Amino acid sequence: MSLRLELRGITKHYGQVCANDAVHLKVRPGEIHAVLGENGAGKSTLMKTVFGAVKPDAGEMRFNGERVHIKSPQAARALGISMVFQHFSLFETLTAAENVWLGLDKSLSLAEVTSRIQKVSVEYGLDVDPARYVHSLTVGERQRVEIVRALMTHPQLLILDEPTSVLTPAAVSKLFVTLRQLADKGCAILYISHKLDEIRALCHQCTVLRGGKVVGEVDPRQESNASLSRMMIGAAPPELRRSAPVLGDTALSVHRLSLPSSEPFGVDLQQLDLCLRAGEILGIAGVSGNGQQALMAVLSGEDRRAAAGSVHLFGHDISHASPQQRRQRGLHSVPEERLGRGAVPAMSLAHNTLLTRTDAVGPGGWLQMRGVVGMATELIERFNVKASGPHALAKSLSGGNLQKFIMGREISAAPKVLLVSQPTWGVDVGAAAQIRSALLKLRDEGCAVLVVSEELDELFEISDRLMVMAQGRLSPDIPVAHATIEQIGAWMSGLWGDHVQA
């Protein structure tokens, strides 16, 4: 059987940085092949090369045994190659159906595309509303649109870059069934993920990259998480060390918060109550699109429509306070959307520190640029961000490295309250352990931390208490020690019934 894809000596430089260094890769029809590596190892660059979005400096590519020069994503799709990017390539002012239509044969009408989306969505268990505008979708919902768009092209080679980063466990299981069905039909799949359990459960082969070079090719089903970690980062990920929380006063409280959605297809917030105390981590689980973004917008000050008296910070009513006023009282936040909300893509890392940090603003509002650059440099070093320096543009970083920078920016501000959405989305196991350790350290220093995550394992690992958000409502809270994955999974459907708050 001929190879579906073969890469020989693929090399790509960005200035002085060698993203891919003579990479070799072979993928057979029907094979699910993982590409594993820490943030900045060159995985995304390699996949973009295969998809025609990046032109290599050297090397050759063969598809179905024929040497090819793929000059654009359109040419890649014509060959039978589809890709789901980690950073989505959707037009926010178009509907989901219109976005899918852009990448398909224009002989199909929009109505036919809409019908096919509905069919694929049902067939593969991916909930997508074709009529919704992308700007009204959560990150998880946008990811489902990307996956459906790729599946509708009936690809011979499907590239998935962190496809499960914002999917629930149930959705991941359904996606795996879909991918196995595709593989059984002969579709080859290149699968990028930092989730080692997923790779070991799903993939037939695994190529490991470190510093742009191939350092190993293994059958992941015969490996352990520890052995894969050692190949990927040179060591096993550090174990989290946590102690019992030392609780302080109430830091952040929400009382009977109800708010109609600001989006036509959004979820209304209904009678929400929560209490977050200093020195604890409160985790909020839930399926994407159930009101988590709306709640975080209210708490961070992005949305100031909440009724007076519904949100308090250390006893002060902040329902109508601006984000800057909340930061002055010690509340910082990390949004789930990195590019666009967490960072400005076309600005340098140094200038991006100024979005939420005013440490380097001198008398009269003058910027102390030496201090700004120094602050960014310190963040890059402290949080091991792979970037060319403080003047690197935010959009030039890999997703995981940008996440580390944004998390570091807010953590290093020594907040009294920290709100975090999807703290380890798209980061490697080493960086995830570093971020989780930093959150626990903040908590031990007396910070009140609220974490919204669709990673149940993560929430169980770092949270002291858990709540679930479903259909715009919040469940009672429960100590992590008393919770189970099965129980929280049931609550994610809104089935908490008459549970008595612990």
Q: Are residues 153 and 224 in the same domain?
A: yes
pLDDT (0 to 100) of residue 345? 93
The CATH number of residue 481's host domain is 3.40.50.300
Token pair listed for 295: 């709640």
C-alpha to C-alpha distance for 406 and 383, rounded to whole angstroms: 10
pLDDT (0 to 100) of residue 122? 85
Q: Are residues 318 and 466 in the same domain?
A: yes
Is position 297 within any domain?
yes
DSSP three-state, residue 419: strand
Tell me the β-bridge partners of 5.
Answer: 27, 63
C-alpha to C-alpha distance for 146 and 150, rounded to whole angstroms: 6
Range from 127-131, 143-147, 225-229, 346-350 that averages highest in pLDDT: 346-350
Is position 357 within any domain?
no
Is position 91 within any domain?
yes
pLDDT (0 to 100) of residue 183? 94
Q: Are residues 213 and 120 in the same domain?
A: yes
Average pLDDT score over residue span 35-45: 89
pLDDT (0 to 100) of residue 500? 44
Instruction: Between 353 and 498, name the one with better pLDDT.
Output: 353
C-alpha to C-alpha distance for 87 and 351, rounded to whole angstroms: 22
Q: Are residues 226 and 294 in the same domain?
A: no
What letter represents residue 215's amino acid? V
Q: Are residues 276 and 203 in the same domain?
A: no
Q: Residue 185 pLDDT more than 60? A: yes
Helices 110-124 and 139-151 pack at an angle, to 10 degrees, of: 100
Is position 182 within any domain?
yes
Dihedral angle computed from the Cα positions of residues 332, 338, 341 and 346, in that order, rounded to the nearest 10 degrees: 120
C-alpha to C-alpha distance for 220 and 218, rounded to whole angstroms: 6
Q: Residue 282 pLDDT more than 80? A: yes
Using one digit for the tens of pLDDT, what is the confidence trace for 115-152?
999 998 887 777 889 999 998 887 778 888 988 998 88
C-alpha to C-alpha distance for 117 and 85, rounded to whole angstroms: 19
pLDDT (0 to 100) of residue 343? 95
pTM for the predicted model, two decimal places: 0.77
Number of domains making up the chain = 2
Using one digit for the tens of pLDDT, what is the confidence trace for 81-100?
999 887 778 898 999 999 99
The sign of the CA dihedral 370, 376, 380, 382 is positive
Q: Residue 75 pLDDT more than 90? A: yes
Instruction: Between 40 and 35, name the one with better pLDDT.
Output: 35
Average pLDDT score over residue span 251-280: 94
Q: Are residues 228 and 291 in the same domain?
A: no
Q: Which of 233, 263, 297 is the last residue of a domain?
A: 233
Using one digit for the tens of pLDDT, what is the confidence trace for 44-72?
899 999 999 999 999 999 999 999 999 99
pLDDT (0 to 100) of residue 502? 39
Q: Residue 501 pLDDT more than 60? A: no
Q: Are residues 149 and 265 in the same domain?
A: no
Q: In the chain, how long is the greatest CA-to-CA distance? A: 71
Token pair listed for 318: 């902040």
Is position 184 within any domain?
yes
Using one digit for the tens of pLDDT, what is the confidence trace for 292-309?
999 999 999 999 999 999
Label residue 440 left, alpha or beta by phi (over 0 means left) and psi (-120 to 50 means alpha).
Answer: alpha
Domain that holds residue 317: 250-340+416-491
Label residue 234 left, alpha or beta by phi (over 0 means left) and psi (-120 to 50 means alpha).
Answer: left
- Return the ∠ at Cα 335 (arms to 282 and 479), rounded to 5°: 10
pLDDT (0 to 100) of residue 234? 81
Is position 405 within any domain?
no
C-alpha to C-alpha distance for 451 and 465, rounded to whole angstroms: 10
Q: Which of 233, 259, 274 is the last residue of a domain?
A: 233
Using one digit for the tens of pLDDT, what is the confidence trace for 381-436?
999 898 999 999 999 888 788 999 999 999 999 999 999 999 988 787 888 888 99
pLDDT (0 to 100) of residue 346? 94
Work out the pLDDT band at 164, boundaries 50, 70, 90.
Answer: confident
Is position 380 within any domain?
no
Is position 40 within any domain?
yes
**Residue 479 parent element (H or E):** strand 478-479
Q: Are residues 468 and 334 in the same domain?
A: yes
Q: Which of 201, 233, 265 is the last residue of a domain?
A: 233
Q: Residue 324 pLDDT more than 90? A: yes
CB-side neighbour CA atoms (13 Å) of 491: 23
Q: Are residues 20 and 163 in the same domain?
A: yes
Q: Are residues 216 and 260 in the same domain?
A: no
Q: Are residues 217 and 322 in the same domain?
A: no
Mean pLDDT, all residues of the chain: 91
For the chain, give the number of residues: 502
Q: Could you give phi then psi for residue 489, rounded to 5 degrees?
A: -60, -40
Q: Are residues 52 and 121 in the same domain?
A: yes
Average pLDDT score over residue span 484-497: 87
- Strands of the sheet containing 311-313, edge to edge, are 269-277, 250-259, 311-313, 316-317
The sign of the CA dihedral 368, 370, 372, 378 is negative
